[in-house]
Structure 1
Amino acid sequence: MIDLATPSYRKATLALALGSFLIFCNLYLFQPLIPVMATQFSVSVLKANGLLAASTTGLALTLLPWAILSEKLGRYPVMMISLALVPLAGLGILLSDNLTSMIIARALLGVALAGFAAVAVAYMAEEFTQNALMMAVGTYISANSLGGISGRIFGGLVSEHWNWQTAVAAMALFSLMCALIVYALLPKATHFQKESGFSVKGGTRIIAEHLHNPKLLLAVLIGGLNFALFVNLYTVMGLRLIAPPYSLPLGWTSLIFLCYLSGTLSSRLSGHWRKKHTTTQGLLIGTFISMTGVWIACFQELTAIIIGLLLISSGAFFVHSLAYGWVSHHATRAKATATALYLVAYYLGGSLGGFLLIACWEKAAWPGVLMGSMTLYGAMYWMCFRLKKYDPTHQTPTMATP
């Protein structure tokens, strides 16, 4: 098993973090470009949002097939196939000449990205010791946030100074280089055990098993609502900042994604939190922090908006890290399928939440967004309290003496 502070741990975590980074760079490259693409194709912002929703939906709908395939082929081959397909999907986007074909190409990109995303945490759960696992998951999710920041800022700045085609071409080349580095660094799996007599029918039965397990189902739903709020609050904030009275240029608006850095920090802290406190306590605290950020963002001052985004990011990534780790830990079998099921809800939440919050923005501006988001936060709180009774460590934590 790969343990903390070993050469294998450093190589594996670097490779997994790099793979995670390129996945999220690609996934969110178009998020700041939604208003630009709406103008270019003469469609509404809600329709142009299909470019973001297509990739997240394509990813969500193929996570489970990839995970089921990995139960038969193994985690390592699936991750390598996935990374090899990403630059090819980027080429397909580059060759698109209308909105419909671009949406289809973005959906295919989501399919390619899903392979790595579906099984990376399962690989860690099988190859890392328990102590190393929580730290590795925190590092992996930190790379998620860094990739999301970089992809969005890169897309916004490059498209403003050149065009969206340049951004897509450069990202495809970057993805190819990263895939080669991951292949060179990531240790091959040595603890993967193929499910005895595994089949698609058996995989479907395992999915049903997971869905009937309230310990897993509640965490899966929390993850979906969390991401529905988080990623789309940034989308509507971008729309808010390019409109009067701010009227900021696209390049400047894309810099709001630097606020993701607070999420990078909080996802790393989640591993340390779990050593002394319970997961459900962390889920409640993270939800409260994120919700507080939405209220602070109600103020018109840019400083308040930035503080609000920092809190939204830190709370959302803290919740995501804990819920994701909970699912991988509490799945007694077919861990890749369990974590993929979590990600299905996570990314479907991101896709559907965009249409909800953008509609709220178009109907009633930020007060409408506030009303829609508070409804989702209320549902999250209810599920967190329901999950409490399944937390085996739900007790007053014993603080370690110095």
Structure 2
Amino acid sequence: MNASPAPQRPTSKGNAQRSADAAPYLERGSRAYWRASLALLFAGYATFSLLYCVQPLLPEFTKAFGVSPAVSALAVSVSTAALAVAIFIAGFVSESWSRHRLMTLSLLASSVLTVIAALLPDWHALLIVRALEGFALGGVPAVAMAYLAEEVHPEGLGLAMGLYVGGTAIGGMAGRVISGVLADLFSWRIAIGGIGLLGLLATLAFRALLPPSRCFEPRRGVGFAHHRRSLAGHLRHGGLPFLFLIGFVLMGSFVTLYNYVGYRLLGAPFQLNQTQIGAIFTVYLTGVVASPWSGKMADAFGRGRVLIASLVLMMLGIALTLSNSLTVIIVGIACLTFGFFAGHSVASGWVGRLAAQAKGQAAALYLLAYYIGSSLIGSYGGHFWTAFGWPGVAGLIGVLLLLGLAGALWLNRRERVAAA
């Protein structure tokens, strides 16, 4: 790690308002920087693999429990809904709790609950445990974003955030592919249990690698009035609410695609099995490239431009999935996946830069909108599938992306005016 001044305990009056010059940042290229980036890559992997390992198993739940596609999708939606609530709470708690401890406990609890979910015989019991798992995971995403925004030097933040989001891409891909293969070879229970055990291993790696916070001082005795003022400040900000909207759009579109494309590919004319569908989900690996690349591009050319390009690419991707050619559909899924991870990497990093204070709370608001999009749109998309088939699902996603593009154009204009 590059030499830098020793951290100074903030006074009660200043309370962590240190200047950038005095802050012992993790400098890009230093050993501590890469340890933090790798640790949060493991955290991102665990979060997404645990959260979405059931997504390719939705048709299996339909058969095993006799539920409709929309009801089966609740296995994903109850987790993301609980996660949204937990993230909002974590945004407040994180101001007075150890970042390291909160993230470690969250990952440990959610991994154990995933193993328990694999053993449950009843559909409603499974949904309850999935909701508890989502709630347990709430201590990771917002706190991870806040940790990076506080600890990493601004010049390296785009890449570090991109690596974290890249970890979520690896987790999302591994969770879907591994669970799909294990379900085909053994059963959906073995699939979920295996993902839970891998989550425990990732938790151990995260705990061993993450450097302690040096730029964060827990704030004791912070009352409701402080949180209310911070919350109001974020919502009145000229740019943050548009980033919250974009988070809603990005995740709502992304999860809806992956929730229901399996139903389409299992049926005529494709007739694929779970292993083949799981293999298609390796397009998640495009997110491993998209996330750090988009972070670097945003640092170099502006966040607004990269965000606009990401949303346009997602629109192209969903249009391609309307084809009856399996190859074209896979290309479309890849385009939407690449655009999603690029857009999320830019938007999540931008939140930390725009929030002048209470960065954990600002990150929590972004992720609250993000996972509400996953829960609401991801579940409601099942009704579009039942009523209109894949064109209905694609149309729903297209309308969402147009809304997000309007928000990105506004943010780009605001960024250009600020830079002038």
Q: Which residue of the partner structure matches residue 304 of structure 1?
A: 328
2:302 partner amino acid: T
Tell whether 2:330 aligns with 1:316.
Answer: no
Q: Which residue of the partner structure matches residue 189 of structure 1?
A: 213
Q: How far did 1:394 drift?
A: 6.4
CA, structure 1 residues 200+158, in 2 after alignment: closer, same or farther (shift >3 Å)?
farther
Q: Which residue of the partner structure matches residue 283 of structure 1?
A: 307
- Name which of 274, 295, 305 aligns with 1:271: 295
Tell whether 2:26 aligns with 1:2.
Answer: yes
Q: Which residue of the partner structure matches residue 252 of structure 1?
A: 276
TM-score norm. by structure 2 comes to 0.90
The gaps in structure 1 that reach 5 residues or longer are: 397-402
Q: How far did 1:176 drift?
A: 1.9
1:126 partner amino acid: E
Secondary structure at 1:55 match in 2? helix
Q: 1:66-77, aligned counterparts within 5 Å?
A: 66-77=90-101
Q: How far did 1:218 drift?
A: 0.5
1:294 partner amino acid: I
Structure-2 separation of matches of 1:163 and 1:314: 30
Q: Is the 8 A contact 1:68 1:200 kept in 2?
A: no
Tell whether 2:267 aligns with 1:243.
Answer: yes
Structure-2 separation of matches of 1:208 and 1:395: 26
CA, structure 1 residues 385+99, in 2 after alignment: closer, same or farther (shift >3 Å)?
same
TM-score norm. by structure 1 comes to 0.94
Deviations 1:30-56 (A, max 9, x none): 000001101111110110111010111
Q: How far did 1:307 drift?
A: 0.9
Q: Which residue of the partner structure matches residue 400 of structure 1?
A: none
Q: How far did 1:81 drift?
A: 1.7
2:387 partner amino acid: K
Structure-2 separation of matches of 1:95 and 1:306: 33
Q: Which residue of the partner structure matches residue 179 of structure 1?
A: 203
Deviations 1:130-176 (A, max 9, x none): 12211100000011111000001111110111112212222222222
Structure-2 separation of matches of 1:373 and 1:364: 13
CA, structure 1 residues 88+204, in 2 after alignment: closer, same or farther (shift >3 Å)?
farther
Q: How far did 1:103 drift?
A: 0.5
Secondary structure at 1:3 match in 2? coil
1:31 partner amino acid: Q
Q: How far did 1:392 drift?
A: 5.1
- Give the alignment's Cα RMSD to 1 decimal: 1.7
Tell whether 2:52 aligns with 1:28.
Answer: yes
Secondary structure at 2:42 match in 1? helix
- Name which of 352, 370, 391 aligns with 1:328: 352
Deviates more, 1:109-118 or 1:134-143: 109-118
Structure-2 separation of matches of 1:138 and 1:166: 32
Deviates more, 1:327-336 or 1:171-180: 171-180
1:105 partner amino acid: V
Secondary structure at 1:391 match in 2? helix
Structure-2 separation of matches of 1:157 and 1:290: 27
Q: Which runs of 4+ in 1 moved over 6 A?
A: 393-396
Deviations 1:33-91 (A, max 9, x none): 00110111111011011101011111111102112111011312211221221232124
Tell whether 2:381 aligns with 1:357.
Answer: yes
The gaps in structure 2 that reach 5 residues or longer are: 1-24
Q: Which residue of the partner structure matches residue 67 of structure 2?
A: 43
Q: 1:386-397, aligned counterparts within 5 Å?
A: 386-391=410-415
Q: Which residue of the partner structure matches residue 399 of structure 1?
A: none
Equivalenced residue count is 396
Structure-2 separation of matches of 1:307 and 1:92: 36
Tell whether 2:91 aligns with 1:57.
Answer: no
Q: How far did 1:200 drift?
A: 4.1
Structure-1 separation of matches of 2:368 and 2:39: 23
Structure-1 separation of matches of 2:236 and 2:60: 43
State the identity %.
32
Structure-2 separation of matches of 1:200 and 1:16: 30
Structure-2 separation of matches of 1:318 and 1:91: 31
Q: Which residue of the partner structure matches residue 222 of structure 1?
A: 246
Q: Is the 8 A contact 1:149 1:257 kept in 2?
A: yes
Q: Is the 8 A contact 2:113 2:133 kept in 1?
A: yes
1:308 partner amino acid: G
Q: How far did 1:272 drift?
A: 1.7
Q: Is the 8 A contact 2:179 2:188 kept in 1?
A: yes
Q: How far did 1:177 drift?
A: 2.0
Q: Which residue of the partner structure matches residue 20 of structure 2?
A: none
Q: Which residue of the partner structure matches residue 21 of structure 2?
A: none
Structure-1 separation of matches of 2:194 and 2:259: 23
Deviates more, 1:6-15 or 1:357-366: 357-366
1:220 partner amino acid: F
Secondary structure at 2:96 match in 1? helix
Q: Which residue of the partner structure matches residue 206 of structure 1?
A: 230
